[in-house]
Structure 1
Amino acid sequence: MLVQSVRRATKILQELATAGPRMGVTELAERVGVAKPTMHALLRTLEADGLVVQDPETGKYLLGPALLRLGNAYLETQELRGRSLTWADALAQRTREAVWVAILTGDRVLVVHHAFRPEGAVQILDVGASIPWSTCALGKAIVAFAPSAESERLLKAELPVLTGASIADRKKLRTQLEQVRRVGCAFEDQESALGDAGIAAPVFDRSGRVVGSMGIVGPVERLLADPAREEHALAVREVARNLSRDLGAPRNPSQRTA
């Protein structure tokens, strides 16, 4: 049985995360579908636990610091993340590119680990980044090997368009996923951000089930130009395979089920 007050509280957090960062009581009440007094009570409860904070200048609410603690605690429970640390560093050193490790949550991929490109330039940590699965190599690598029912559900859902290169054509996307299954890795060409590219491969657990993906991200001219494209793809596949074995995956994982 779903508890209504808990559902409303989570809806508030979701609205602040997606439509925020700052929202007033009236707007939140309209979005959640409750009366303003009820919204006031919900916000006071969330504020007491540090899940939201109120801007003293505007009176509007935004997400609170307690969510960061919860997020970090969640990352620490991820076996994939823990096992990937050494392998991600090895892939970054081998390709000289940044490495992301991701899992699928709903219809988006969540970056759970980020190994910086081994150079002196300033880089921004992207752990926690959430990206539509269909617009990135990381997502395609997972969905291509997900159970058929799950991949079909995702293909039939709305396919976001982030750039002119994003793929909203389901037939074309199906063809891409079939190609991923054949070659063992996925490619992204400016589909989530102009100028950026990605190459990713699936990661499997001890049961042979796909649990995430690992890949490199960087400028399109550096990742996808020949012969770097094939060299990078080979490295990504090999290191992702090693990570899978570290997780106990069989040498020939089942990869996809009906």
Structure 2
Amino acid sequence: MTHVPAERCLSIIQLLAENADELPLGEIAEKLELPKSGAHRLLATLVDLGWAKQDPQTGFYRLTMRLAVLGQRFYVATGIPDICQPLLDNLAAASREFVRMAVVDSDTLVWVAYAQGAKGGLMYQPTDTVATVPLHATASGKAWLSTLPVDDAVRIVMKNGGFGDSATFGPNVVRSVSSLMQELEVTARRGYGLAMGEAEPGVTALAAAIRSREDGPVAGTVSVAGPSVRLTEERVQELGPVVTAAASELSKLWPLRMRLDKQIRSPEVSMENISSN
């Protein structure tokens, strides 16, 4: 059973978090299709709990830093910064290109970490380094989807907006289910995802899947991206084994085998500690 007020509070938080904007009550209510009175009550609750703040001059609402602090705490607790970042830095140095890592979050991939390996000249740096990954248009998306049953891969793409507006992507982006299925078959055989002028014009990327354990489900992806004039087909073939090796190393550590499988299943450990006391 759903809890509607909780869902609507989360919708307000998500709306206010999108561009870190402050918004008037009327716009919040309109965008979320809520009555003003209901939106006002929910916002008052968020203000009381310290999640939101109302500007005394304009009456507009914005988030406090509480969500950012909580997110940072969670990010550190995952082990990604201290365990995975050094490997991303090494891959960036080896490839001399932009490296990113994404993690699987339900039926989406989300960028969570990056490293810049290019030192000068033509340099690729996306504007969104923490965002949801367009699955059909990216090497990371293909790397993950190619490990799934075809029906599941297609379902996930369609659930995430399908193929979207092709005008927002590069000229070579996949535009149909049949093309996607062919691309995923090629990706599975190759061992890594490849996108050449797909997510963005003039950008080439390759990515490999990170598994949470040997032969286990995919936990995320690691990718290398750069200008297509530099990431030629020959250069891609050189970097393919480098990227897959980095993904394999990340899989071995992911992250530190989920903190040593939660310290070998903490309930048993806790019971032993209780008994000894």
Question: Could you say whether these structures have the same fold, taking a TM-score greater than 0.5 normalized by the shorter chain as the test?
Answer: yes
CA–CA separation in structure 2 for the residues paired with 1:183 and 1:63: 45
What residue in structure 1 maps to residue 221 of structure 2?
213
What residue in structure 1 maps to residue 241 of structure 2?
234
Task: Name the SS of the counterpart of 1:172 in structure 2.
Answer: helix
| Cα distance, 1:178 vs structure 2 | 1.0
Does 172-181 or 73-82 show the bigger shift?
73-82
| Cα distance, 1:120 vs structure 2 | 6.2
Does 3-12 or 53-62 show the bigger shift?
53-62
In structure 2, give the amino acid aligned to 1:146.
L
Task: Name the SS of the counterpart of 2:230 in structure 1.
Answer: helix
CA–CA separation in structure 2 for the residues paired with 1:226 and 1:33: 49
CA–CA separation in structure 2 for the residues paired with 1:202 and 1:95: 17
Larger Rg: 2
Question: What does 1:97-246 align with in structure 2 at a 5 Å threshold?
Answer: 97-117=97-117, 119=119, 127-146=129-148, 150-157=152-159, 158-161=162-165, 162-165=168-171, 166-206=173-213, 208-223=216-231, 225-246=232-253
Structure 1 gaps of 5+ residues are 250-258
Q: CA RMSD in A?
A: 2.9
Structure 2 gaps of 5+ residues are 258-277
TM-score scaled to structure 2, two decimals?
A: 0.77
Question: What does 1:11-26 align with in structure 2 at a 5 Å threshold?
Answer: 11-18=11-18, 21-26=21-26
| Cα distance, 1:133 vs structure 2 | 1.7
Higher helix proportion? 2
Contact 1:136 1:191 in 2 (8 A): yes
Task: Name the SS of the counterpart of 1:6 in structure 2.
Answer: helix
What residue in structure 2 maps to residue 253 of structure 1?
none
| Cα distance, 1:124 vs structure 2 | 7.7
TM-score scaled to structure 1, two decimals?
A: 0.82
Task: Name the SS of the counterpart of 2:229 in structure 1.
Answer: helix
| Cα distance, 1:177 vs structure 2 | 1.0
Contact 2:104 2:218 in 1 (8 A): no
How far does the alpha carbon of each residue in 1:112-149 deviate from its partner, in whole angstroms, 9 at most, with x for none?
11112252689689552322222211121112113555
CA–CA separation in structure 2 for the residues paired with 1:37 and 1:187: 50
